[in-house]
Amino acid sequence: MGQTRFVQPAHGQTGYRVRLDWGLQGARAVGADASTTVVVDVLSFTTTLTVALDAGAIVYPYRWNDGTAEQYARENDAALAVGRSQAGAGQISLSPATLRVGRPPGRLVLPSPNGATIAHHLSSQGSPCLAASLRNARGCRPGAHRAPRIHRHRGLRGRG
């Protein structure tokens, strides 16, 4: 995951104020020099993310199927979410419902194959990265100052 990949200059869309692309490769293309990036994910990652934020958790998006996730969770004094099929009783997974059973953790490392992997990559580039979904679309409109921001080392906190 930490590899540098060549990106075709045209894919960077540098002549445009707003740039759009798909997946991790697209994030690499348009996010390298962006002042702000927005990960739009309408599946498990952003739904679980917003449920965790609503419960007051600090969330650290992380790469999917990465052997360093447990160590990253320990370094951030955080619980580690697992894949839905791997979750046992009482474990947090990519299913938002698992955060509503019992008391949610104060800090959560949340890996996912798309949204979290992309957010983790973009947040490591140094510019603000927002997470948008159907649940928080109003707060993530262009120019939103109060949208949740992903910070690689500080995690994601709800705003507002």
Question: pLDDT (tens digit, 9 = 90+) per residue, 98-137?
Answer: 998 888 899 999 999 999 999 999 888 877 788 888 777 7
Residue 121 lies in a domain: yes
Number of domains comprising the chain:
1
Q: State the pLDDT confidence band at 97, using cuts at 50, 70 and 90.
A: very high
In terms of residues, how long is the chain? 160
In a domain, 22, yes or no: no
Instruction: Determine the Cα–Cα distance for residues 156 and 109; give it in Å rounded to an integer.
Output: 10
Predicted confidence at residue 102, as pLDDT, reads 80
Enumerate the β-bridge partners of residue 108: 59, 79
| Cα–Cα distance for residue pair 98/57, rounded to 1 Å | 14
| Higher-pLDDT residue of 26, 96 | 96
pLDDT for the residue numbered 68: 96
For residue 82, give the DSSP letter. Answer: B
Residue range of the domain that includes 72: 37-160
Residue 24 resides in a domain:
no
Candidate ranges 38-42, 48-52, 136-140, 156-160; pick with highest mean pLDDT: 48-52
Position 29 in a domain: no
Q: For residue 16, tell me if it sits in a domain.
A: no
